[in-house]
């Protein structure tokens, strides 16, 4: 019997996409998760591509951790394994796409087509009427092989506007309703506010769940929100684990016990929140004991063998971070003892001499790494990246508005996928004593041994030498 047929399990699933970023798919994905969670269903939400902020809202809505799916960064084997595991325990699987349906290589459409997942298009209907039907038709038919679920109009002005929109949608494009613009208050404040790297994290707003309830209530008035659970079964998908033969090309390297007996300190708070749950799982699978601490809360560095400073928003909390002189002393002692530090993006900036805001205001920081950072109003780095290391190639991505001028020795440079040696779009990997730092955000499971070595595991370093 076919491996996939023998091991597959069926579960209703939906990929929520859009023509572009900014259409409202995060809000409506979270609203849909909240609507079903309120009905007592177990909802598992995933996010296509690299993203730290949208998953906070999806986790709040569903009550379950949210993982990334990407056919390049995480790999097809990982995607299949995660979806199969989710289908075993969840009543409903929701996947939020990235950017527009066909953007990126591979795209959300590639994922949907590979796994036969129904696609729902969320389209911002501001300033259009019947043209919405043309956009939906184009999304539906631009590439063959997509399993189409329907179209949902967002930010609709009125009931009359909704009628005009619906009138332009072809029958086979399946009108699933219209959602009027939802404000956070009686004024015009956005329901899910944004800042320069994306949405404000859900845990930073005390009324986050109430905001999601408002969105869920609005969605409940649409044909999509009123769809019976029996009708949802029409969108069931057969999910199977990766076949044994697929353990080749894109499957993550097998985990080794390279971090067994080692304690890794992990900064985690509003300044250091860019953490994939899968990266924590990877560290623990290698045997690490994790100890979390909050620099913003004035917590000192825990007793540890190595330190991971993830990305986040140190630029928004620079003065508070600079005031943590006790922690600064701990970090310096840790580094002087030759203990490993892996600092990603915002974590790297916090270790610099200081940071200048986009308005020019300069704030000194911890000063462990030579160099000063400058925030700017335009993106300085964006996209998938791969980072060669002495132990193997890590996959990940880059997304930042900062520039860094540092005299720290360069140990390598990342590159775009499939880029040649002349590509200038990569991120520098700095090495300053036992500190490795970069704007590059790593997906740890793409090469666990490299991560273990960056975190000072001698066995992993020797094996890769």
| Structure tokens that stand for 334 in this block | 């840790």
Sequence-ordered strand ranges (E) for 148-280: 148-156, 175-180, 194-195, 198-199, 236-239, 263-267
Residues 271, 386, 251: CA angle, nearest 5 degrees: 105
> Which of these is catalytic: 11, 48, 282, 345?
345
Cβ neighbours of 439 (radius 10 Å): 26
Report the alpha-carbon distance of residue 64 to residue 233 in Å, rounded.
22
Taking the alpha carbons at both ends of the chain, their separation in whole angstroms is: 44
Spatial separation of the C-alpha atoms in residues 272 and 61, rounded to whole Å: 22
Q: Which is it for strands 119-124 and 435-438: parallel, antiparallel or unpaired?
A: unpaired
d(CA 371, CA 76): 39
Cα separation, 408 vs 370, in Å, equals 6
For the record, the structure tokens of 85 come out as: 């595991």
Tell me the three state secondary structure of residue 82.
helix
Measured CA to CA, the distance from residue 310 to residue 269 in angstroms comes to: 10
Q: Tokens 């809202």 map to which residue?
A: 57
Residue with tokens 């790494």: 369
Q: Which two tokens stand for residue 235?
A: 């969108």
CB atoms within 10 A of CB 353: 17
Concerning whether 282 is annotated as a catalytic residue, the answer is no
Q: Verify cis geometry, omega within 30 degrees of 0, for the bond prior to 287.
A: no
Q: Pseudo-torsion of CA 29, 35, 38, 43, nearest 10°?
A: -40
310 secondary structure, DSSP code:
-
Two tokens, residue 449: 């041994």
Spatial neighbors of 333 by CB under 8 A, at least 6 apart, are none
**Token digits of residue 112:** 């949907």
Only one residue has tokens 């002005």, namely: 157
Residues acting as catalytic residues: 345
């Amino acid at each position: 019997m076919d491996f996939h047929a023998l091991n597959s399990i069926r579960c209703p699933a939906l990929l929520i996409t859009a023509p572009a970023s900014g259409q409202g798919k995060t809000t409506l994905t979270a609203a849909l998760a909240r609507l079903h969670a309120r009905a007592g269903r177990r909802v598992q939400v995933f996010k296509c591509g690299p993203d730290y902020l949208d998953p906070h809202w999806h986790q709040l809505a569903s009550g379950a951790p949210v993982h990334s799916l990407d056919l390049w960064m995480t790999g097809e084997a990982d995607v299949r394994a995660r979806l199969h595991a989710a289908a075993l325990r969840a009543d409903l699987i929701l996947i939020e796409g990235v950017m527009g349906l066909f953007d990126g290589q591979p795209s959300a459409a590639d994922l949907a087509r590979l796994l036969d997942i129904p696609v729902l298009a969320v389209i911002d209907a501001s300033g259009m009427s019947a043209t919405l039907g043309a956009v939906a038709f184009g999304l539906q038919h631009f590439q063959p092989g997509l399993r189409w679920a329907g179209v949902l109009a967002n930010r609709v002005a009125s009931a009359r506007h909704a009628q005009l929109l619906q009138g332009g949608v072809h029958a086979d494009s399946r009108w699933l309703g219209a959602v009027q613009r939802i404000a956070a208050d009686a004024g015009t404040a956005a329901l899910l506010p944004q800042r320069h790297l994306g949405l404000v994290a859900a845990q930073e707003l005390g009324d986050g769940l109430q905001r999601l309830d408002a969105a869920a209530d609005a969605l409940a008035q649409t044909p999509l929100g009123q769809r019976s659970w029996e009708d949802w079964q029409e969108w069931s998908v057969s999910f199977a684990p990766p076949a044994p033969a697929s353990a080749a090309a894109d499957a993550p390297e097998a985990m080794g016990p390279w971090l067994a007996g080692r304690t890794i300190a992990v900064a985690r708070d509003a300044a250091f929140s860019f953490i994939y749950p899968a990266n924590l799982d990877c560290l623990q699978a290698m045997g690490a004991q994790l100890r979390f601490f909050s620099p913003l809360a004035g917590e000192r560095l825990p007793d540890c063998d190595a330190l991971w400073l993830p990305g986040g928003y140190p630029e928004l909390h620079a003065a508070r971070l600079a005031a943590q002189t006790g922690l600064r002393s701990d970090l310096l002692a840790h580094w002087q003892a030759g203990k490993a530090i892996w600092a990603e993006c915002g974590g790297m900036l916090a270790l610099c001499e200081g940071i200048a805001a986009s308005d020019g205001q300069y704030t000194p920081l911890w000063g462990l790494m030579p160099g000063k950072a400058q925030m700017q109003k335009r993106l300085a780095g964006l996209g998938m990246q791969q980072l060669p290391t002495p132990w193997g190639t890590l996959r990940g991505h880059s997304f930042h508005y900062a520039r860094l001028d540092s005299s720290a020795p360069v140990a390598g440079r990342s590159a775009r996928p499939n880029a040649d040696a002349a590509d200038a779009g990569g991120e520098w990997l700095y090495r300053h004593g036992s500190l490795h730092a970069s704007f590059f955000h790593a997906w740890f499971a793409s090469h666990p041994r490299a991560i273990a070595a960056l975190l000072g595991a001698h066995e992993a370093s020797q094996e890769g030498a």
